[in-house]
A and B are shown apart, each in its own frame.
Chain A
Amino acid sequence: MTSVSEAHRGARRVELGHTPPLRLAFGTAHSGLRHSASGASRSSAVAPMEESRAPVGSPREPEGRSRPRNKYSVLLPTYNERENLPLIVWLLVKSFSESGFNYEIIIIDDGSPDGTRDVAEQLEKIYGSDKILLRPREKKLGLGTAYIHGMKHATGNYIIIMDADLSHHPKFIPEFIRKQREGNFDIVSGTRYKGNGGVYGWDLKRKIISRGANFITQILLRPGASDLTGSFRLYKKEVLQKLIERCVSRGYVFQMEMIVRARQLNYTVGEVPISFVDRVYGESKLGGNEIVSFLKGLLTLFATT
C-alpha cells in the first residue's frame, strides 16, 4: 500500500461530487487524447556519451545517420510541493547526468496555492526549458488526467511516473532503465516488498496494514507483480497511453488497475526493489476511509477483471 501522504494526494487530486465512485471522469481529456508530437520535437543534441549507451542489438544506419536515442520523460504531478520540488528535481538531474541517459522532466502543477509554480519557473531557468517542462493546469484534477496531459507534451519514448514528495528516490531510475533493457519489459515497477526493497518511517500498524492488504490483493488478483499500489514506474509510452485509456478507477486503486490491465493485455512487467522513505516532511495517517475505499476498489477489480 502506498504511503498515506500519497494516498491523500491521490484522493485530493480527484474531484468528488459528480464522479460516481471508482470511475474517473476522463471526459474531454479522453476525447482529446492524441499521441504527442514526439517526432517533431525530438532533441537533436548529441551528448558525448551517446556512443557508450547504444541500446543493445540495434544496428547503426550505414549512412552515418545515428539511430534515435531513447529519451525518458519523467512526469511529476504536483500539488503543494513547494518545499520538495526543487529537491526532487535536483536529485533527478543528478541521477540522469551521472548515468548519462537522455531525459526531460515534466512538471504538472494543479494550481497549487503555495507557490509551487514559482519554484518550478525558477528551476526551469536554472536547468533550461529543454530539460524542465512546465505544463500546469488550472485546478486539481485526477491523477490519470495529469498523466494524459503530461504525455501530450512528452517527447520521450519512455515515461517515468513517480511521487514528488521525496518518497521515491531518483537513484533507482537508472536501475529501472537497465532492467527494462534486460528483458525489454513494457513496464518496470518499483517494489517495496521484494528483494532489498523496503520502507522507512512506518510503524508496526502501518506495516501490518500494508502487508495484509498486499496479501489479499495477491490472493484475489494474482497479478504477477509484488507491489501493486506503488506508483514509481517506468512505462513504454504507448503502453501507458493504452492503459490509461482503459483504466476507470482513481487514486491508488488506479495504480493497481494499471498493472492488472497490463497483464490482461499481455504486457510484461519487470520489478526493481526500491526504498520508500515516508514522512520527510509532515505527518501522514492512514484513515479508515482509505482502507474502505481500497477494499471497494480491490473488490471491483476482482469482480470485473
Chain B
Amino acid sequence: MTKLAQWLWALALLGSAWAALTVGALGLELPSPCREVLWPLPAYLLVAAGCYALGTVGYRVATFHDCEDAARELQSQIQEARADLGRRGLRF
C-alpha cells in the first residue's frame, strides 16, 4: 500500500467514525458536553497539528548545529593540500 493510500484509509476510518458519532447514526445517546467537543474536533486537531509542526520546525531550526570548527579545519586543510600537491608536481 502506498503512503497516500495509507493516509486515505486512516482519514476515511477516522472521518467516518467521527461522522457516525456526530450524526448519531449509531444510535448512541451521548451526553451534550461530549457532542459539543466532538463536533469541532477535526478543526481542533488540524490547528493542534499546525502548532506542533511550527513548534517542531522552529525548535529544529533553532538547534541546527553550526559547524564553525569544521569550516576552519577545512580551510587550513585546503592550504595544506595545495602546498603538498604543489610539491608533488600538480600544476593548478
- Residues of A bordering B, CB below 8 Å: 86-87, 90-91, 119, 122-123, 125-126, 166, 169, 193, 196-202, 204, 207-208, 210-212, 214-215, 220-222, 275-277, 280, 301-305
Query: When chains A and B are docked, how far (Å) is the Cα of A166 from the Cα of B91?
Result: 20
Q: Which residue of B lies closest to A126 (CB)?
A: B88
Q: Which residues of B contact A166 (CB under 8 A)?
A: 74, 78
Q: Which residue of A lies closest to B6 (CB)?
A: A222
Query: When chains A and B are docked, how far (Å) is the Cα of A197 from the Cα of B81?
Result: 24
Q: How many residues of B contact A (CB 8 A)?
A: 27
Interchain CB contact (< 8 A) of A86 among B71, B77, B81: B81
B38 at the interface (CB under 8 A from A): no
Contact B3 A222 (CB under 8 A): yes
Q: Which residues of A contact B68 (CB under 8 A)?
A: 200
A193-B60 contact in complex given A200-B70, A215-B53, C-beta closer than 8 Å: yes
The 9 closest A-B pairs by CB, nearest first: A198-B65, A275-B70, A275-B67, A90-B81, A200-B71, A200-B67, A303-B4, A211-B60, A198-B67
Contact A196 B65 (CB under 8 A): yes
Task: Indicate with 1 or 0, residue by residue over B36-79, a CB within 8 angstroms of chain A CB atoms.
Answer: 00000000000000000100110011001111101100100110
Q: Which residue of A lies closest to B49 (CB)?
A: A219
Query: When chains A and B are docked, how far (Å) is the Cα of A87 from the Cα of B75?
Result: 11
Contact A208 B77 (CB under 8 A): no
What 10 additional pairs, Cβ within 8 angstroms, besides A87-B82, A199-B66, A200-B71?
A119-B90, A122-B90, A193-B60, A198-B67, A200-B70, A211-B64, A215-B57, A215-B60, A221-B3, A277-B74
Contact A303 B61 (CB under 8 A): no
Q: Which residue of B lies closest to A212 (CB)?
A: B57
Q: Which residues of B contact A122 (CB under 8 A)?
A: 89-91
Q: Which residue of B lies closest to A88 (CB)?
A: B81
B13 at the interface (CB under 8 A from A): no
Contact B61 A207 (CB under 8 A): yes
A169-B74 contact in complex given A122-B91, A303-B2, C-beta closer than 8 Å: yes
Query: When chains A and B are docked, how far (Å) is the Cα of A125 from the Cα of B88?
Result: 10
Interchain CB contact (< 8 A) of A215 among B56, B65, B78: B56
Contact B81 A208 (CB under 8 A): no
